[in-house]
Amino acid sequence: MRIGIAGTGRMGSAIARRLASQGHEVRVWNRTPARAQPLLQEGLAWAATPRALAQASEVVVSMLTDGAALDEVYSGDDGLFTHRGGGTLFIDMSTVPPATQREMARRAAEAGVAYLECPVGGSVGPAQEGKLLAFVGGAPQDVARARPLLDQLCRRVEHVGPHGAGATMKLAVNLPLMVYWQTLGEALSLVQPLELDPQRVIDILADSSGGPNMLKVRGATIAQALAGAAAGAVTVDVATMRKDVAAMLDEARAHGRRLPLTAETLASFERAARRGLDPADCTQLPVWWLAEGGFLLPGSGT
């Protein structure tokens, strides 16, 4: 199959490599061409514009930063939606608010093209191994068409409703994880006076009833960060986490719901961002919390 990848950041590149490994003819485009160079050196093809990408592809998968990027890449002068022939199927895997996906679906209908939202759970490793978790929103006939491809990328594909439903499910799935990063820092602050080896502490927490799968999978990396080891490749940065948590709160307010723990988590992440952590990997959050985030602010009482 001829597949186009729009957006070659960490996840987009991992998805491109996975699909190429499955025998597909993969072509890529990115707003910053230099970020696609490693893929081109591996033999993947390049498209000069999003429109050219759509013209050369049976399916286009996009993985973009936010709603503004979606607007530019899909609806710009040479955007993906300017190619309206050939029956190309567009699948967006970005994590954006549900309202954004509903608007994208409206534009797709105006353009007369098939469009699915399919945000995914999982990071670079699962993407390269075809073990993502997909939350699909869109028309059943388009989901059926996309499923063989999604099955090569994902260990589980869930069609959860119309456009916007996938984004809602992705926010719900991510919410406990976002809050857990905050609670992990707080838990570590309790045992910090014991001066135990970080690897031992993380191993104990991961083996307990309070240890989620994330801690079991990423525990070694977290322990290294706590021990002061240099950070490796960034998997999920703090800026992305703040964006997603803000979207969770916006969606809750739209339905008249309160998320008090989530609101406090965002406030903490924003404090970390003001200390320069936005580009840092998520594993640096508990490190920051132990160093300064968990101490009482003078005169604040909080």
Of the residues 131, 170, 216, 243, only one is catalytic, namely: 170
290, 189 contact by CB (below 8 A) = yes
User: How many residues in the chain?
Assistant: 302
8, 16 contact by CB (below 8 A) = yes
d(CA 109, CA 121): 27
106, 74 contact by CB (below 8 A) = no
d(CA 166, CA 164): 6
Q: In sequence order, what are the residues at sequence separation of 6 or more whose Cβ sits closer than 8 angstroms to the Cβ of residue 142?
A: 89, 114, 115, 116
Tokens of 13: 């590149």
Coil, strand or helix: which one is 136? strand
CA angle 191, 193, 198 (to 5 degrees): 55
Tokens of 203: 């191993």
Burial 182-214 (b: 16+ CB within 10 A, else e): bebbebbeeeeeeeeebeebbbebbeeeebeeb
Helix (H) or strand (E) run with residue 215 in it: helix 213-226
90, 155 contact by CB (below 8 A) = no
**Is 216 noted as a catalytic residue in this protein?**
no
Catalytic residues: 170
